[in-house]
Amino acid sequence: ECNSGSFIRERCSMRNLTPLDIVYASDENYVPILGVSLTSLFENNRETPIAVHILDDRICEKSHEQLARVAERYAQKIEFIPIPDLDKLSGQKIDALRWSKTAFARLYLATLAPQLGKVLYIDCDTMILGDLSPLGKMELPERCSCAAVTECMGDKHKENVGLNSEDPYVNSGVMLIDLDRWREQATEELFSAYIRQCSGRIPYVDQGVINAVLKDQIAELEPKYNVMTVCYDFSYKELQHYRKTFYPYSESSYAQAKKSPIIVHFTTSFLSRRPWINAKQTHPFAEKWREYKNMTPWKDTLLWKDQRTAVKKVYEIFFHAIPRPLAVEISGILHSTFKAKKDARVK
C-alpha cells in the first residue's frame, strides 16, 4: 500500500500549495474502470497537486500494485482505506439492491478518513476531462456541508425519499464534502438513523440517503462537473418532459456542459451503453474513454457483456421506431409512474 497523505503534503508545502483530496470507492470488480478514471484525472490535472484516497472494498494486492503504477506514472501516490463492515457501522443490515454496497462507504468518510477535511468524492464510472482546481478553491456556503450537481429527477421519485417537488435532487457521483462539518453536525449518525428507518432498503440506495438527510445542506455545482448520460440522450426540453419535472439549470449551461464537460459520468440509461460494455456505442465520449483505457494496465482486459434483458432491448428498438415526441412522452409516463411506484416499494 501507498500512503499518499504525508508525501503529497510535504511536496506541496515546499511549493506553498494545498493538495486537492480526491476520494474514490471501489471493489475488485470495478478496479479497471477506476483505473481509467484515475488516468483521465492525472492526464488533465498535471498542474494541480492531488492526493488520491481509495475506499477499498477487498481490492486484491495485484490491483493495488496496478493502481499504484498508474499514479506513479504521474509522480502521484495513492492511499488505500479499507472499508469495514458497513452493516455494523450503520447498525442495520443494508440491502444495496442491484448496486454495490461499496457506494455506502462514502456516507462514513468522516470516520474512515479522520485526517481529511474538505474532499472531492468521485464515482469510478467517470472520466475527468478538465481542471478540478476550482473545486479545491471553492468555499461552501455556511449552511451547506457539501455541494453537488442537481439531477433532473421526477417529482414522484423525489417523493420516495421524502422530498417535495421544489426540492433539488442531487446526483452523489461527484460531491464536494466538508468532512469537518459532517463531524460537527454528527451527519453520519443521521445517515445511520435514516438507513435504520428504512430497514436497510433505501430507494436510490446511498444517493437516497444523502438527498433525504441533507436536503437543506447541499450547494449547487455547475452541471459541467457531472454530465450524466441522460443529458446526451435527451435535449434540454426533452429531458424535462421525460422526467416530468423542472430542471434548475439554464438551457445554455446545459448545452455548454454537454459540449465541454469537466467530468463525464457514465450513468446507466436505457438509450445508451456504458463504454466498458461490449455493444454498439452512441455516447459521444465513449471512444475517448476507451482511449484512456488503452493507457492503463487493463488495456487488454475484455469489455463486459451486454446483460440487458430482452424487454429492455426491444423497448429501445421501439423508442427509435416511433416518432420521437411520442417516444419521449411514453418513456416519461413509464418513468414517472411505473418506475416510481416500483422504487417506492423498495421500502
Instruction: Kindly indicate the confidence band of residue 342, based on its pLDDT and cuts at 50, 70 and 90.
Output: confident
Give pLDDT, residue 276: 98
**pTM higher than the cut 0.85:** yes
Output the pLDDT for position 14: 38
Q: What percent of the chain has pLDDT over 90?
A: 84
Sign of CA dihedral 266, 267, 272, 278: positive
Strands 50-57 and 20-27: parallel
Residue 1 clears pLDDT 60, i.e. is over it? no
Cα→Cα distances 7→19, 50, 71, 192, Å: 11, 11, 13, 34
Contacts of 42 (CB under 8 A, 6+ apart): 50, 70, 71, 73, 74, 76
How far is 121 from 163, CA to CA, in rounded Å? Answer: 23
CB 77 within 8 A of CB 68: yes
Give the burial string for 274-303 (b: 16+ CB within 10 Å, else e): bbbbebebebebbeebeebbebbbbeeeee
Q: pLDDT band for 278, please (50, 70, 90 cuts).
A: very high
Q: In the predicted model, is pLDDT for residue 16 greater than 50? A: no
Measure the CA angle with vertex 346, ends 341 and 347; round to 5°.
110
Q: Which helix (H) or strand (E) is 148 found in, with range?
A: strand 146-150
Residue 346 has what pLDDT?
A: 62
